[in-house]
Amino acid sequence: MNLYRNFFSVSAMTLLSRVFGFVRDMLMAGVLGAGPAADAFFAAFRFPNLFRRLFAEGVFNTAFVPLFARALEEEGKEAARELAARIISWLVVFLVAVTVLAEIFMEALLMPFVPGFLSDPEKFELTVLLTRICFPYLACMSLMAAYGAILNGLGKFLAAAFAPVLLNIVTIIVLLGLVLYQSGNPEFDAIWVAIGVMAGGVVQLLLVVWAVRKTGFTPRFSLPRIDPAIRRFWFLAVPAIFAGGITQINIFVGTIIASQADSAISYLYYADRLYQLPLGIIGIAISVVLLPELARHLKGGRLAEADRSQQSALLISMLLSLPAATALVVLAVPVISVLFERGAFDAAATLATADALIAFAWGLPAFVLIKVFQPGFFAREDTLTPTLLAAISVAVNIAVSLALFPALEHVGIAIATSVSAWLNTIMLAGLLWRRGHFQLGAPQLRRHGLILAAALMMALLVWGTSFVLAPWLAPQSGLVAKGLALAALVGLGLVVYFGLIHVTGVQRLGSLLGRLRRTG
């Protein structure tokens, strides 16, 4: 497989999804704002979304893919399909049990996660109702992850990468209806947005099931049974659930602490949406493409190819995440103002969200690097080590969040999330290095140093130019003027950065385009 080509295919679909996601969030900011109903909805959505990330990125991009790759390499397609069928049968039973129990005991389940809502019974009751509506989304997304992992293991990435676009389209349709209806009741609006989320989950699942059927690889369901392959899967899956979703666990920990302050959850949500754009385009796309490629090379004994794949993934990640991080730091306020500042989302909300975004942005390269280094463990069927490292980083996140929250509120939580991500990254890279699974020579270190220098120079130039364009970026300038000024800054940054990358020889643009055109 061509790592560059597959990476940019997944990234393109992720970018399309995030563009629709920003349209969704712009509408949501106008409909729900940053008040109690918004806090209730975002807390409700985070609850199943946490488990979605754990299953999608924890189990089926860590435990399932290496076993599936081994079956494909050593036993052929029929054996791989049988393995997938047995694992998915267990997944269906598990999801039905979890969904039924969660719906029954939802109130008790939510109490530890939103302790700050307990003093406001109406807000807590609304959160419980919205979570009950959203929670079956978990089952849809987990099954989508399973079918998507089959497609990824077969080297077919497009359908699973496109599926999240459908969630945003369905939610946008619901929000447009609410904009036109103008109920004036945020609680009513939040309920309909939750229904839209659930409907979007169903549509996504239908897409990937159809895509798997087209490959002729549809798993045949059977009664769940225990065999050596299933025991091995669960042995890998249980720690992978935690390790693969470490970023989301840290964010969810922040949600628990943020529930103590008014609007803090909403500020963190909008900031999270912005830094998740480059994280999704770069980090998640890299992990989706890199893990099956690494696993296939390692199972086939192609160690040199596996090392080249890891090096290429690191280069792509740094080429894109460092300029994205520095740009978000210097453009936080205008970006949030253009995207969200309208309706119930005012200038004070823009500044509060920008502070959180800057803190998250400093951690963006670390969030991406976690996605690069974890597959080095998962492809070797080692899920325990990254789980232990993830546990350490979560403990640090909680400690730093609690220490900073009294003084900095939601910004302290964002800082803690970034600090813990860097700690996790350093530990992952250090252990891979010590085991001989990852090395960086002097030429690679020089290349990454030049990438960092180019990103900082680009950010400095964009920051200086933003003062020249300040009259057009001011709130009174209007959406069109602000949007054009922001687009000019982004365009300038892209030209300067990639010009520096080309001139310094870090990555010749012609060479990059050649890699994208190659099919293998």
- pLDDT per residue over 175-206, tens digit each? 999 888 877 788 888 899 999 989 998 999 99
Percent of the chain with pLDDT over 70: 89
Count of domains for the chain: 2
Residues 61 and 74 in one domain: yes
CA distance 512 to 514: 5
Six token digits for residue 286: 């890299």
Residues 180 and 311 in one domain: yes
Amino acid at 254: G
**Is the pLDDT assigned to residue 400 strictly greater than 50?**
yes
Residue where one domain finishes, among candidates 393, 413, 439: 439
**Is the pLDDT assigned to residue 460 strictly greater than 90?**
yes
Interval 439-457 mean pLDDT: 89
Residue where one domain finishes, among candidates 392, 415, 439: 439
Residues 261 and 281 in one domain: yes
Beta carbons within 10 angstroms of residue 209's beta carbon: 15
**Is the pLDDT assigned to residue 61 strictly greater than 80?**
no
pLDDT at residue 54 in the model:
62
Residue where one domain finishes, among candidates 384, 418, 439: 439
Residues 129 and 46 in one domain: yes
Residues 167 and 46 in one domain: yes
Residues 344 and 398 in one domain: yes
339 alpha-carbon distance from chain centroid: 19
127 φ/ψ sector (left φ>0, alpha ψ -120 to 50, else beta): alpha
Residue indicated by tokens 């509120």: 409
Amino acid at 234: W
Describe the crossing of helices 3-32 and 332-340 by its angle, rounded to 10 degrees.
60
Residues 519 and 395 in one domain: no
**Is the pLDDT assigned to residue 77 strictly greater than 70?**
yes
Going by pLDDT thresholds of 50, 70 and 90, the confidence category of residue 296 is confident
Residues 164 and 183 in one domain: yes
Residues 360 and 309 in one domain: yes
Residues 399 and 449 in one domain: no
For residue 392, give the nearest of 201, 217, 192, 250 by alpha carbon.
250
- Could you list the residue range(s) of the whole structural domain that residue 497 is in? 444-520
How many distinct helices (H) and strands (E) make up the chain? 22, 0
Residue indicated by tokens 């994208």: 516
Angle, CA of 354, 360 and 366, to the nearest 5°: 155
Residues 434 and 485 in one domain: no
Interval 424-434 mean pLDDT: 93
The alpha helices in 216-302, defined as continuous H runs, are: 228-244, 246-258, 264-278, 285-299
CA distance 89 to 87: 5
Amino acid at 436: G
Say which range, 34-43, 60-69, 107-116, has the weakest mean pLDDT.
60-69
Residues 142 and 208 in one domain: yes
Residue indicated by tokens 């020889």: 505
Beta carbons within 10 angstroms of residue 74's beta carbon: 11
pLDDT at residue 4 in the model:
63
